[in-house]
Chain A
Amino acid sequence: GGIITQTPKFLIGQEGQKLTLKCQQNFNHDTMYWYRQDSGKGLRLIYYSITENDLQKGDLSEGYDASREKKSSFSLTVTSAQKNEMAVFLCASSTGDERLFFGHGTKLSVL
């Protein structure tokens, strides 16, 4: 089996700050995803990547950048944190058989 590791687990930032979230997977999966989870709103796709150096925008990409420099890692940057923003960011990877494997999430709080 494999694992998806997200760092940090908790991230506290200041308004206007640039914040970076990291994700590593050892499944050797091609496709990786970043989702944002807000209470009562389900999951919304921010970015995904089908291979190294590929980036595809999801429905919620505005205000975020992403980077896939290696097959095993996918990072997400909040370009300017919004005051009182609070959400969980979930990284996932895909086997190619329409199943997603998720990390445990990074919980973001902005003061």
Chain B
Amino acid sequence: TQTVSQSDAHVTVFEGDSVELRCNYSYGGSIYLSWYIQHHGRGLQFLLKYYSGNPVVQGVNGFKAEFSKSDSSFHLRKASVHWSDSAVYFCAVTNTGYQNFYFGKGTSLTVIP
């Protein structure tokens, strides 16, 4: 069974703070890990992905994520958040055939100006 777990349903921080959004997965075989952002009333937008190589991947708007095989984790981080980063963030995993993307339940990030 493939699972993606995002332990925090809601995270609230102040503008300029750093933030970490957590993602743990359980999946067999070769996988791709990715993060998506969903602003209110919109579809999801791709942020970044990891398959192999450097475990730290850079995404758009200052986001980065770090893969850890030992922890089965792929946490998303940003050093200094902006109010416009307020959105729901989804972690996703898919296999090399990308026939199904399994998504976590999402973490709602609120940035207080």
By a beta-carbon cutoff of 8 Å, the part of chain A in contact with chain B is 4, 31, 33, 35, 40-45, 48, 50, 56, 58-59, 90, 92, 94, 96, 98-105
Closest chain A residue to B32, Cβ basis: A98
Shortest CB–CB separation between residue A54 and chain B, in angstroms? 11
**In contact, A42 and B104 (Cβ under 8 angstroms):** yes
**In contact, A104 and B101 (Cβ under 8 angstroms):** no
Contacts of B98 in A (CB 8 A): 31, 94, 96, 98
Q: Can you report 20 A-B residue pairs in the complex whose CB atoms are below 8 A from each other?
A: A31-B98, A40-B105, A42-B103, A42-B104, A42-B105, A44-B103, A48-B100, A50-B99, A59-B100, A96-B98, A98-B49, A98-B94, A99-B46, A100-B101, A102-B43, A103-B43, A104-B41, A104-B42, A105-B41, A105-B42
Among B36, B41, B42, which residue has its beta carbon within 8 angstroms of that of A100?
B36
**In contact, A48 and B99 (Cβ under 8 angstroms):** yes
**In contact, A90 and B44 (Cβ under 8 angstroms):** yes
Classify the interface of chain B: helix, strand, loop or mixed.
strand
Within 8 A of A (CB), among B1-50: 4, 9, 32, 34, 36, 41-46, 49
Number of interface residues of B (CB under 8 A): 24
Known pairs A42-B90, A45-B100, A56-B99; A102 contacts B105 (CB<8 A): no
Instruction: State A86–B9 Cα separation when bound (angstroms).
Output: 20
Closest chain B residue to A4, Cβ basis: B43
Known pairs A41-B105, A45-B100; A90 contacts B43 (CB<8 A): yes
Shortest CB–CB separation between residue A95 and chain B, in angstroms? 9
Instruction: State A105–B105 Cα separation when bound (angstroms).
Output: 17
Contacts of B46 in A (CB 8 A): 99-101
Instruction: State A64–B9 Cα separation when bound (angstroms).
Output: 29
Instruction: State A102–B36 Cα separation when bound (angstroms).
Output: 10
Instruction: State A33–B43 Cα separation when bound (angstroms).
Output: 13
Instruction: State A99–B94 Cα separation when bound (angstroms).
Output: 10
